[in-house]
Amino acid sequence: MSPQSRPGGRPGPASAAAGGAHLAAQWGLPLGVLLGALAAARLPGAGGALAAGAAALLAAFTVHRLRLRIRAASQERGSLSEQLVQSQKLAVLGELSSGIAHEINTPLAVIGQEAELLRADLETLEHGPAREALGRRLDSIEAQVRRCGDITHGMLQLVRKAAPVLQPVVLAQLCEDMALLAEREARRREVRIVRRYAPGLPETLTDPPQLKQVVLNLLVNAVQAVRPGGRVELAVGPGAPGWSEIQVRDDGPGIPEENLSRIFNPFFTTKPPGQGTGLGLSVCLGIVDRLGGTLGAANAPGGGAVFTVRLPEGANPPEPGPALAR
């Protein structure tokens, strides 16, 4: 039986609410005019006219507020339903990914071991075209084994929820350490990493190894997103009271609007086939969430993409509010 109907043709709660919203939207202003007319009938002369106008405006305003509340409640209910469905999908996907990763790791280990043995046998062959050809094929096998290992490692990280070990950290120093690591890839691609660290920031209570993984991943993604001669900006500064922010901005093509809502989904990637697993940002989102912060993505006003990590400086921080542009 549908929840919107009852035996005998009587409407249920859902259809009654929808009907109420429809009546409020269609008859709000006429209802106000009617109430005003009733008020005018009880007060003769100019007083009646004023009362009629006031009653009509008050009724119309009240009904308008009711319409806005009904609309906002409907949108919030739809958003919460979508979030619930998405979280259920991710939970199921996480369980499947964990099982698949464990099943794949065993044959991968065997393939890797056999490749090592073949590499040892290859050294016993005489130098020549045949040996070089076999060497190239072994290189390809080993490269694909490493790639599969990276994928299964990412799948396990997606579902592994390691409890963070919190300790005071100077965010600027932590980010600088990761920027130095990312600069090797940046130099190879002729990309410049620009730092902007606000002075005098208080220490942040966080898990350094896990946060380093997030910052390095965002930096490498940004470096790979821009063309040679491009620019990546790493900024650390204060956010809302009690919060600090890390922003990674690039001057690449940005994120297509249709992809913004999916950018953190597991296995979603905009990189060419063979160049990304689609798990990096999902893992980063899970880490930041466990650290009590937020991770967001947007298109920068001047072009390119910007990722913002917001972290509480201590325990029980106030609401972070919107991200601050830098």
| pLDDT (0 to 100) of residue 56 | 63
DSSP E strand boundaries for the chain: 167-169, 192-197, 204-206, 231-238, 243-250, 294-299, 305-312
Query: Whole-angstrom distance between the N-terminal and C-terminal Cα of the chain?
Result: 55
| pLDDT (0 to 100) of residue 294 | 92
Q: Are residues 130 and 264 in the same domain?
A: no
| pLDDT (0 to 100) of residue 250 | 94
Q: Are residues 19 and 129 in the same domain?
A: yes
| pLDDT (0 to 100) of residue 300 | 86
Task: Please give the tally of structural domains in the chain.
Answer: 2
For residue 61, tell me if it sits in a domain: yes
For residue 321, tell me if it sits in a domain: no
Whether the CB-CB separation of 24 and 63 falls below 8 Å is answered with: yes
C-alpha–C-alpha distance, residues 194 and 259, integer Å: 27
Question: What tokens were used for 195?
Answer: 């730092």
Query: Looking at 110, 137, 160, which one is the last position of a domain?
Result: 160
CA-to-CA separations, 108 to 95, 139, 143, 256, 258, in angstroms, rounded: 20, 15, 12, 36, 36
Q: Are residues 232 and 153 in the same domain?
A: no
C-alpha–C-alpha distance, residues 34 and 37, integer Å: 5
Question: What tokens were used for 19?
Answer: 């009907």
For residue 236, tell me if it sits in a domain: yes
For 91, the 3-state DSSP assignment is helix
C-alpha–C-alpha distance, residues 235 and 249, integer Å: 8
If we measure between CA atoms, which residue out of 210, 177, 207, 170 comes closest to residue 193? 177
Q: Are residues 149 and 180 in the same domain?
A: no
Residue 232 belongs to domain with CATH number: 3.30.565.10
Amino acid at 132: E
If we measure between CA atoms, which residue out of 58, 30, 27 comes closest to residue 50? 58
If we measure between CA atoms, which residue out of 80, 61, 78, 67 comes closest to residue 17? 67
User: If residue 317 lies in a helix (H) or strand (E), which one and from where to where?
Assistant: none
Three-state SS letters, 190-240: CCEEEEEECCCCCCEEECHHHHHHHHHHHHHHHHHHCCCCCEEEEEEEECC
- The domain containing residue 25 runs over which residues? 1-160
Q: Are residues 138 and 36 in the same domain?
A: yes
For residue 317, tell me if it sits in a domain: no
| pLDDT (0 to 100) of residue 135 | 86
For residue 250, tell me if it sits in a domain: yes
Q: What's the whole-model pTM score?
A: 0.54
CA-to-CA separations, 203 to 236, 285, 320, in angstroms, rounded: 12, 22, 17
Q: Are residues 274 and 185 in the same domain?
A: yes
Dihedral in degrees, nearest 10, Cα atoms 144, 145, 149, 155: 60
Q: Are residues 263 and 125 in the same domain?
A: no
Q: 198 — phi, psi (to 5°)?
A: -70, 135
For residue 150, tell me if it sits in a domain: yes
C-alpha–C-alpha distance, residues 268 and 53, integer Å: 58
Determine whether 221 is exposed, middle or buried from the number of CB atoms within 10 Å of its CB (0-12, 13-18, 19+): buried
Whether the CB-CB separation of 291 and 211 falls below 8 Å is answered with: yes
Question: In tens digits, what is the pLDDT along the chain, a chain of 326 residues?
Answer: 444 444 444 444 444 444 444 444 454 545 555 555 555 555 555 665 665 666 666 666 777 777 788 877 777 666 566 655 655 555 566 566 666 666 777 788 888 888 888 888 888 888 888 888 888 888 888 888 887 777 676 666 655 666 778 899 999 999 999 999 899 889 999 999 999 999 988 889 999 988 998 999 999 999 998 999 999 999 999 988 889 999 999 998 888 888 888 888 776 666 665 555 567 788 888 889 889 999 999 998 888 999 999 999 875 555 555 554 44
| pLDDT (0 to 100) of residue 25 | 47
